[in-house]
Structure 1
């Protein structure tokens, strides 16, 4: 696998990315047992709260990832002090299960090292077993666990 490079999203790229990212988040929330309406509301509220100034929100870095000239996915990271938090990472649908998720996360780690960031965290939905497995293989450890019960 070649090293991927991260390029900041342009303003023109941000709008369609945001719509797709919110839709994906909505589907993930639905998979936890929430109604489609509640999930869509949560996704919209979350993205509005986290990115009030859209791609220009201070501390947030939103990149497309490339293998050569081919766009293979994206990465969204927030940095505070010497810690980064991955809010979203994805590989283009037709390119999944080919090592690009790993390559994007390794690019994130290289960027963090280059910017004196000493810790990187993330949250992953319990139902996303593929991502959980990848993160464990990359050395991430579980730091907390959310649980719920429908009544």
Structure 2
């Protein structure tokens, strides 16, 4: 059985060092950024979205545990502070660490995230998945997330 615990400062630092690099790699793989600019752009994006680190307003960062073992993390943001998307939220990041994948933690965590989102007053939640991340896309589709936009590109 998994449990969410608010991310503490040390966990946030560990997460951030991994997440900046991981996001940069995904943006390069997807063709959005060049390798030369990726780390710098990733750092800027995390600074913009989390100006107060793990204590940033309307952002909820959780460590995911199975018993006492850290198996992943999730970041849920409330976007209900805007008038264009009342009561909506967004999952900015979600990871089950590689050594814990394939054990059902992802599905359990996403269901728990929905429960927490409802408690926060969120009645619709979105997320982004890179097309090259087939495992994550499959999980989200199994949990009834629907494709709302598709961006395509071609190198010429």
TM-score by length of 1: 0.92
| SS, match of residue 103 in structure 1 | helix
* Counterpart for residue 12 of structure 1: 10
User: Out of 135, 147, 150, which is 2:152 matched to?
Assistant: 147
User: Out of 95, 101, 108, which is 2:113 matched to?
Assistant: 108
CA deviations 1:48-84 (Å, max 9, x no partner) are: 1111111111000101011111111000011122211
Gaps of 5+ in 1: none
CA deviations 1:24-68 (Å, max 9, x no partner) are: 111111211342222212211111111111111100010101111
Q: CA RMSD in A?
A: 1.3
* Counterpart for residue 28 of structure 1: 26
Distance 2:155 2:46 in 1: 25
* 2:77 counterpart of 1:78: yes
| SS, match of residue 132 in structure 2 | coil
| SS, match of residue 45 in structure 2 | helix
* Counterpart for residue 59 of structure 2: 60
Once the two structures are TM-superposed, the CA of residue 10 in structure 1 deviates from its matched residue by: 0.9
Distance 1:54 1:115 in 2: 20
Distance 1:12 1:114 in 2: 26
| SS, match of residue 102 in structure 2 | coil
* Counterpart for residue 44 of structure 1: 43
* Counterpart for residue 136 of structure 1: 141
Aligned length: 149
Show structure 1 runs of 4+ deviating over 3 A.
Answer: none
Once the two structures are TM-superposed, the CA of residue 148 in structure 1 deviates from its matched residue by: 2.2
